[in-house]
Amino acid sequence: MTQVLLPRALDELWDFLEEDPNTAVYSGGTDLLVNLRGGRINPSRLACLERIEEIRGVRDAGAAVFIGAATTHTHLLENSLVSSEFPVLTKAIRVLASPAIRNMGTIGGNIVNASPAGDTLPPLYALDAEVEIVSRKEAKRMPVSDFIVGPGRVRLGANEIVKGVWIRKAPEFNVRHFEKVGLRKSQACAVASLAAALSLSEGGKIERARLAWGSVGPTVVRSAEVEEALLGRELEIQMLAEVARLVERAVSPIDDVRASAQYRRIVAGRLLLRLAESGCKN
């Protein structure tokens, strides 16, 4: 049986990690325990992060919001600061797994797991979020798009953990949209997903656009070409259908048990069309 350690502060965690470098950290365990039981990882012991207050909860830091890595998805769904400032993130979490998994799973676990289908990732990319990484000696920040380097691969050194994620408030975005296409309504792994944050002028022209697709590449896909193609245009279906062709070229999906690469490519483009309905801002 694997020993489970329950540090209550970061200082205690650093002691545990330094005592035995083969100690794996986890929060909700909804990814880690699956990998452990499947024999894909073999840590000598586990350190659970959920009792460390410093890395839990949501904090208003003025121009930005800090979300602790060990904050559960359920907590984020119920947080009014998150839903008012970042509705695109709330919309994504609402369709992440099921209530039981959302009660256990955390945003930090979703980020470090680095699945291209991770539901919080497209919103975090579209919001230009930054990941805060800490060790006993150092704290540093980097864009989530630099932190994640491939499926399941992140820039995290020995004895470092993710402390949390920083998201700048961006009230100028008045259209915030998330949609996930899966093989069923609930507890569905994304076949393709899109997070979008747009600013529409009074006259209905797109002034700023940030778009991020999940499950259509080794990591979340953003495309400067697609974002630029939207600028100065009105949010109407014909224009979106035109730009959807660029999306099909920008993504690089693979065939897997859930869908073919070609199907994913088409869906990624079609997801853009839904933005026409989002002309009603939210």
Ligand X SMILES: Cc1cc2nc3c(=O)[nH]c(=O)nc-3n(C[C@H](O)[C@H](O)[C@H](O)COP(=O)(O)OP(=O)(O)OC[C@H]3O[C@@H](n4cnc5c(N)ncnc54)[C@H](O)[C@@H]3O)c2cc1C
Footprint of ligand X on this chain (CB under 6 A)?
24-32, 34, 49, 69, 96-97, 101, 104-106, 108-110, 112-113, 118-119, 161-162, 187, 189
Q: Identify which of residues 181 and 229 has a Cβ nearer to ligand X in the complex.
A: 181
In whole angstroms, give the CA distance from residue 282 to residue 276.
13
Q: Name which of 148 and 196 has its Cβ closer to ligand X.
A: 148
| Residue placing its CB nearer to ligand X in the complex, 137 or 202 | 137
Q: Are 58 and 71 in contact (CB under 8 A)?
A: yes
Which residues on adjacent β-strands are paired with residue 280?
A: none
In the block, residue with structure tokens 């920040």: 141
The distance of closest approach from Cβ of residue 243 to ligand X in the complex, given in angstroms and rounded to an integer, is 26
CA distance 209 to 278: 13
Least separation in angstroms between residue 52's CB and ligand X is 9
**Closest distance to ligand X from the beta carbon of 250 (Å):** 22
User: Closest separation between CB of residue 34 and ligand X, Å?
Assistant: 6
Smaller CB separation from ligand X, 189 or 244: 189
Minimum Å distance from CB 186 to ligand X?
A: 9
Smallest gap from Cβ 33 to ligand X, in A, equals 6
Q: Residue 8 and residue 26: Cα distance in Å, rounded?
A: 14
Smallest gap from residue 208 Cβ to ligand X (A): 26
Q: What is the 3-state secondary structure (H, E, C) of the chain?
A: CCEEECCCCHHHHHHHHHHCCCEEEECCCCCHHHHHHCCCCCCCEEEECCCCHHHCCEEECCCEEEEECCCEHHHHHHCHHHHHHCHHHHHHHHCCCCHHHHHHCEHHHHHHHCCCCCCCHHHHHHCCCEEEEECCCCEEEEEHHHHEEECCEECCCCCCEEEEEEEECCCCCCEEEEEEECCCCCCCCCCEEEEEEEEECCCCEEEEEEEEEECCCCCCECCHHHHHHHCCCECCHHHHHHHHHHHHHHCCCCCCCCCCHHHHHHHHHHHHHHHHHHHCCC
Cβ 117 to ligand X shortest distance, Å: 6
Nearer to ligand X, 116 or 269 (CB): 116
Q: Which is nearer to ligand X, 199 or 215 (CB)?
A: 215
Q: Which residue is nearest to ligand X (CB)?
A: 109
Nearer to ligand X, 55 or 198 (CB): 55
Q: Which of 71, 199 has the CB closer to ligand X?
A: 71
